[in-house]
């Protein structure tokens, strides 16, 4: 993968800060970033960020995680158009991920994707709290703090 540009890297940072605060407050979860690797049903994927249930991950092995995260986050970059990100979201859902956030820096929008379908949220709105991730309901603006 080529290096990411300023919009993507700054947005990934804001996402990780937000998710990190949630994970620190709820020790039953583990946050992965830096192309958080997972190997699910014979396929490898790397999310910009992901949250797993600590009880599901087992001991550290120095390898890709073999269980689906509760949340996978993809932040759009220069080479990611929105339809391609929706394809990634469908892959995650098909492989057991409960919730996917597609974070879109240019329009400052987030698409929350679940098995019920996608919901697009804009600045001034808040992401809905999911029952499997208590307390995680950031504002859209919080995920774009650095690129106001």
| pTM summary value | 0.94
Quick one: pLDDT at residue 2?
Answer: 65
86-119 tens-digit pLDDT? 999 999 999 999 999 999 999 999 999 999 999 9
* Beta pairing partners, 49: 33, 73
Could you tell me which residues are beta bridge partners of residue 114? Answer: 117
36: which strand partners?
Answer: 47
What percentage of the chain exceeds 90 in pLDDT?
Answer: 84
Instruction: Using the predicted structure, report yes or no on whether residue 135 has a pLDDT greater than 90.
Output: yes
The strand pair at 43-53 and 71-75 is best described as: antiparallel
Is the sign of the CA dihedral 20, 21, 22, 24 positive or negative?
positive
User: Span 39-57, mean pLDDT?
Assistant: 95
Q: What is the pLDDT of residues 54-82, one digit of tens each?
A: 999 988 888 999 999 999 999 999 888 89
- The full set of domains in the chain, from first to last, is 6-147 (3.90.1570.10)
∠ CA 77-15-7 to the nearest 5 degrees? 30
């Amino acid at each position: 993968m080529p290096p990411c540009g300023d919009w993507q890297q700054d947005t990934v940072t804001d996402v990780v800060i937000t998710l990190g605060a949630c994970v620190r407050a709820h020790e039953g979860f583990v946050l992965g970033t830096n192309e958080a690797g997972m190997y699910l049903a014979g396929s490898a994927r790397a999310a910009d960020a992901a949250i797993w249930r600590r009880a599901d991950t087992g001991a550290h092995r120095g390898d890709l995680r073999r269980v689906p995260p509760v949340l996978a986050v993809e932040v759009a970059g220069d080479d990611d158009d929105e339809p391609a990100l929706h394809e990634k979201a469908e892959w995650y859902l098909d492989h057991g991920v409960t919730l996917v956030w597609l974070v879109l820096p240019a329009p400052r929008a987030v698409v929350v994707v679940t098995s019920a379908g996608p919901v697009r949220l804009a600045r001034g709105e808040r992401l809905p709290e999911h029952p499997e991730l208590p307390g995680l309901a950031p504002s859209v603006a919080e995920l774009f703090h650095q690129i106001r």
